[in-house]
Amino acid sequence: MTKPIQIAVIGSGYVGLVAAVCFAEIGHDVVCVDNDERKVLALESGDTLIHERHLPELLERYRGNKIHFTSNLQEATRASDAIFIAVGTPQAENGNADLSYVEAVACEIARALTSYKVIVEKSTVPVYTNEWIRRAIERNGVARRLFDVVSNPEFLREGTAVQDFLHPDRIVVGADSDAASSLLAAIYAPLTTGAYYARPGAIPGICSSSAPPPLLNTSTKSAEIIKHASNAFLAMKISFINAVSNLCEAADANIEQVARGIGLDNRIGPRFLRPGIGYGGSCFPKDVAAFRSVAEQLGIDFSLLTEVEKINAEQKKRFLSKVRSALWTLRGKRLGVLGLAFKGETDDIRESPAVDMIEMLLAEGCSIAAYDPAAIKRTQHELPASPRLHYVEDAYAAARDADAVLVLTDWREFSALDLKRLHSLMRYPIVVDGRNLFDPQVMHEHGFTYISIGRPAVYPARDLELANRPGA
């Protein structure tokens, strides 16, 4: 194992906390900084505050020894060799990334610099942010020889973030100085040399001691563009397959078969070719908007991304139409909703299509019983319970006396539901599946009217007769 490096991580959200805990896991000494004293106290007591696999056990293993929490940014800066900025970059009204938190952190770091430090952009930021961080620090009177600024974008998926950090496809380091590049190489050496994977108890994943992840050295600007371009491309891939799913519905084809045929092409690959009700979360919506905005500022026509956003928005409207076609009218209908998070295995509801769908259905006059394995508490802050919105303890409670059940998030536990029990609880056995979790033939065998994305709907015999009538 290489010599531990003193690291400060500024921000304890999804990126910051995962990075801090994983740096400790690969052998470094970490202090995680947050200006919210309540979060600091909660983390010190072992509360991860977010739902993420492997995070609770790693936090419990390292808190108080290899990882500490504080609200004192300047003290953490002075004690560290590398300072990773992992604060929020929310989307502003004009589509740009709001970099005010990054700027505030850079200015506070500047007030503590007395010896050479490497400052690392870990937040997702647009190109040229590196230069603005450098400029902000210099404006606060810091000599250029006392710091370098590096771009080290994260490529984490919520729900598998710890594994993604420790088993990355690549590690991108955008550095314009040899000293900064060498320090980042040393930080990631346990991964890039394969030493971590040979260690007993290492978190398992796709990498190994014989096949470690590559370290890609680039300029700072290239690294910044790599992150935004990656997320924009993945969002485009999702919107593309959703557009194809609409074509499949019109042609009475099966999107699952089409997506498999596309994904078997090595040039394309199968990942992110799953149709649904659209992408969401903290990354894709704001990163697509920010990337498009940066292109416009530089005089580049990137209207392709405008179409990606348009398709994503339309997908939710199409799903609402599916629900309406299954029920005829919506006012007064009781719906069971399965899923609130923007994707399965996380409690994040930021830009969640599921939450958007609930708001649209409530506006139509529906009554909703909603369940999610992890995201109910967060959703209640945004959508409090009301006479027409109830949060329930499991999927079966959501289905009880429902006119239809809607699947809005791809939690693994939903695909394992007892379909016979589900059928017996519902007023009408209608399932509108926005994530294609079930096999249409199996749903037909269990007596459901089953409507999914990009696949022919299936009906029980009586409903099939009604569906085939003129005007149905």
pLDDT at 81 over 70: yes
Give Cα 128 to chain centroid, integer Å. Answer: 24
CA torsion through residues 396, 398, 404, 410, sign: negative
CA torsion through residues 27, 28, 31, 33, sign: negative
- Could you give the C-alpha distances from 464 to 251, 258, 441, 443, 456, in angstroms and in order? 19, 25, 14, 14, 12
- pLDDT-derived band of residue 2, with 50, 70 and 90 as boundaries? low
- pLDDT-derived band of residue 465, with 50, 70 and 90 as boundaries? low
Dist. CA 174–CA 166, nearest whole Å: 19
**pLDDT on residue 96:** 85
- Could you give the C-alpha distances from 323 to 38, 45, 54, 132, 337, in angstroms and in order? 42, 45, 37, 48, 12
Give Cα 241 to chain centroid, integer Å. Answer: 19
**pLDDT on residue 286:** 93
Annotation says 283 is catalytic: yes
**pLDDT on residue 237:** 98
For 316-347, write each residue's pLDDT tens digit: 999 999 999 999 999 999 999 999 999 999 99
Q: Where are the beta strands (DSSP E) in 2-159?
A: 6-10, 29-33, 67-70, 82-85, 117-121, 147-151
For 395-414, write each residue's pLDDT tens digit: 999 999 999 999 999 999 99
Instruction: Average the pLDDT over each of 24-33, 49-58, 89-98, 134-143 and give the range with the smallest value.
Output: 89-98
- The SS3 of residue 147 is strand
**pLDDT on residue 91:** 84
Catalytic site residue from 22, 32, 248, 283: 283
For the chain, list the domains and their CATH numbers. 6-218 (3.40.50.720), 229-311 (1.10.1040.10), 318-467 (3.40.50.720)
Residue 271: partners with Cβ closer than 8 Å, 6 or more residues away: 263
- pLDDT-derived band of residue 97, with 50, 70 and 90 as boundaries? confident
CA torsion through residues 272, 276, 281, 286, sign: positive
pLDDT at 129 over 60: yes
Average pLDDT, the chain: 95
